[in-house]
Amino acid sequence: MVNKASTFLKLVQRKVKRFSQKDNSRSPKWYDRECSFLKKRLSNLANLLNKKPNDSYVRGSWNTVKKEYRRLLRSKKIRYEQEIIDDLVANSNNPKEFWKKVKQMNKKSLNNSNCIPLDKWIEHFSLLNRNDPSKIHENNPFTVEVMNALKNKYSGNSNCPILDKNFTIREILGGIKLLKSGKASAYDIVDNDLIKATASSISPM
């Protein structure tokens, strides 16, 4: 019995020592003064428990403060993450501010064990593209109805008055105005801001 009690006390002392020596030099952004104060109190109780391992009152106080400290950390983290989500939602209509907030988030280091292997990506996209996209809806009743209506309306006439109509400068300028600013360019390296700035010059072309 004495040996078991001695072994238990040694385990408690080792755990308390390890808990009291944790380094908070890289504390997350949500770790504030309240967390630091409770951590200091817990550390003091851990040191006291090392000196008085047989004191049931000290051990009970240490367990109580430890649970309180963990609850506090959990609540602070959840509140911080919810504030980030609310901030992102508030800036969802502003792409620049949205991505600025995303970059400001405290990103954890990537764990390679959680990354999706390259062969899984290849398999996934291979399955997506194995069917001809043009034939996906060929048996859809609505698609068949629309296609038959178009064939009946324009049968014998290769010209479609709607699709074959030339674009007007007014329509082109209207389309340019709908382009969103701050977007990445495509392969031609011509971004929307450049198109909008030269709309009056390029629209007649």
Q: What is the pLDDT of residues 61-106, one digit of tens each?
A: 889 999 999 999 999 999 988 888 888 888 778 888 888 777 776 5
Q: Report which residue type is found at 31.
A: Y
- What CA dihedral angle connects 130, 131, 132 and 136, to 10 degrees? -150
Residue-level pLDDT, tens digit, the chain, 205 residues: 545 555 555 555 565 555 544 544 577 888 989 999 999 999 998 888 888 888 889 889 889 999 999 999 999 999 988 888 888 888 778 888 888 777 776 555 444 556 778 888 888 887 776 776 666 666 778 888 888 887 777 666 666 666 677 888 898 999 999 998 888 887 778 888 888 888 888 888 7
The reported pLDDT for the residue numbered 109 is 43
Residue 202, number of CB atoms within 10 A of its CB:
13
**Domain positions in the chain:** 2-104, 169-202
Q: Report which residue type is found at 169.
A: I
Decide if 31 contacts 75 (C-beta within 8 A): no
Decide if 16 contacts 46 (C-beta within 8 A): yes
Decide if 7 contacts 1 (C-beta within 8 A): no
The pTM (predicted TM-score) of the whole model is 0.42
Cα–Cα distance, 49 to 205 (Å, whole number): 83
Query: Would you state the structure tokens that stand for residue 122, as one six-digit string?
Result: 């290849």
